[in-house]
């Protein structure tokens, strides 16, 4: 049985699953689908064309499905799609997609945590098991792959990509693509090693972690340009998911990947 507070505003055509809780002064628009077991807390807002999976929580002040902040948007129908078990904390904002991007949908994968005051712009794709820490802002069409963590106050440039299992230090400005499995931070954004602690927590074996580290030593510490480093890795390492993920990411990067640490890099990685 659903528990809808009498002071909530829920459009009669909105589709709510079972055991959904809607708090006072929450607003749910007409073309909204909310899965079983979701909690829409007081003063949360869900506008049209949002589809939300099961067991999600939307905290006070969060706004999901507002029209994109893009001058090319012309009132077309576009979407926000949210997976299962997603927590969207206080005052976070997730905008709809745009037709001009060729995507038309903003996605957040299952088991992801969106902390307070995070902004996810139009047509972004956030994977599963990600953490976006408070005050992070990702610009339009940013792609955040599974298990990535963006530290507090991270800002990403439009079209940026953050690879799976990567961790970006708090306060960083992401203006280049961040390859998978790495740590990065400082100003300008720089490679700072492999995310060893995160990989251990997620069940990577010592051999897998050593292989990842050896590959990034070639990419960042052996004096090769990125193209030659990729060729050397392809020739010198047996095929594996980790190898192919790293090579595919670097070779398909359109913005270029973050550089190695330099003497001009400032600050500490949180």
Whether 138 is in a domain gets the answer yes
Tell me, yes or no, whether 23 lies in a domain: yes
Tell me, yes or no, if 29 is annotated catalytic. no
In a domain, 191, yes or no: no
Q: Please state, in angstroms and rounded to a whole number, the distance separating the CA atoms of residues 256 and 267.
A: 22
Chain-centroid distance, C-alpha 202: 18
For residue 187, the model assigns a pLDDT of 87
Find the CATH number of the domain harbouring 140. Answer: 2.160.10.10
Which residue in the list 140, 163, 170, 198 is annotated as catalytic? 140
CA distance 270 to 66: 32
Quote the pLDDT of residue 262.
62
Domain count, the chain: 1
Which pTM does this prediction carry?
0.95
- The answer to the question of residue 18 being in a domain is yes
Annotated catalytic residue within 70, 84, 123, 177 = 123
| Neighbour tally for 222: CB within 10 Å | 11
The token pair that represents 264 in the structure block? 């001009």
Told to judge if 123 belongs to the known catalytic residues of this protein, a careful annotator would answer yes
- Tens-digit pLDDT string for the chain (270 aa): 999 999 999 999 999 999 999 999 999 999 999 999 999 999 999 999 999 999 999 999 999 999 999 999 999 999 999 999 999 999 999 999 999 999 999 999 999 999 999 999 999 999 999 999 999 999 999 999 999 999 999 999 999 999 999 999 999 999 999 999 999 998 899 999 999 999 999 999 999 999 999 999 999 999 999 999 999 999 999 999 999 999 999 999 999 999 997 644 444 443
The reported pLDDT for the residue numbered 261 is 77
Catalytic residue among 43, 119, 122, 165: 122
pLDDT of residue 186: 86
18 carries an active-site annotation:
no
The residue segments making up the domain with residue 50 are 3-144
Q: Does some domain include residue 267?
A: no
Crossing angle (nearest 10°) for helices 241-252 and 206-221: 30
Q: How much is the pLDDT for 263?
A: 46
In this structure, is the dihedral angle defined by the CA atoms of residues 251, 257, 263 and 264, taken in order, positive or negative?
Answer: positive
């Amino acid at each position: 049985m659903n528990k809808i507070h009498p002071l909530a505003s829920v459009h009669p055509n909105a589709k709510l699953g079972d055991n959904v809780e809607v708090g006072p002064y929450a607003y749910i628009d007409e073309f909204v689908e909310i899965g079983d077991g979701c909690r829409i807390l007081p003063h949360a807002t869900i506008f049209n064309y949002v589809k939300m999976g099961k067991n999600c929580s939307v905290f006070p002040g969060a706004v999901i499905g507002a029209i994109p902040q893009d001058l090319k948007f012309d009132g077309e129908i576009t979407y926000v799609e949210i997976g299962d078990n997603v927590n969207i904390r206080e005052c976070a904002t997730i905008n709809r997609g745009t037709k001009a991007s060729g995507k038309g949908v903003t996605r957040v994968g299952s088991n992801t945590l969106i902390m307070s005051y995070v902004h996810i712009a139009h047509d972004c794709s956030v994977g599963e098991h990600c953490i976006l820490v408070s005050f992070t802002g990702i610009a339009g069409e940013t792609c955040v792959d599974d298990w990535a963590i963006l530290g507090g106050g991270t800002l990403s440039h439009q079209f940026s990509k953050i690879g799976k299992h990567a961790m970006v230090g708090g306060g960083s400005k992401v203006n280049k693509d961040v390859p998978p499995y790495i740590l990065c931070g400082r100003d300008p954004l720089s490679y700072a090693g492999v995310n060893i602690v995160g990989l251990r927590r997620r069940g990577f074996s010592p051999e897998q972690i050593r292989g990842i580290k050896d590959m990034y030593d070639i990419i960042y510490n052996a004096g090769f340009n990125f193209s030659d480093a990729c060729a050397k890795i392809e020739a010198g390492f047996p095929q594996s998911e980790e190898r192919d993920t790293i090579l595919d990411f670097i070779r398909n990067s359109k913005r270029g990947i973050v550089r190695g640490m330099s003497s001009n890099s400032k600050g500490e990685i949180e």
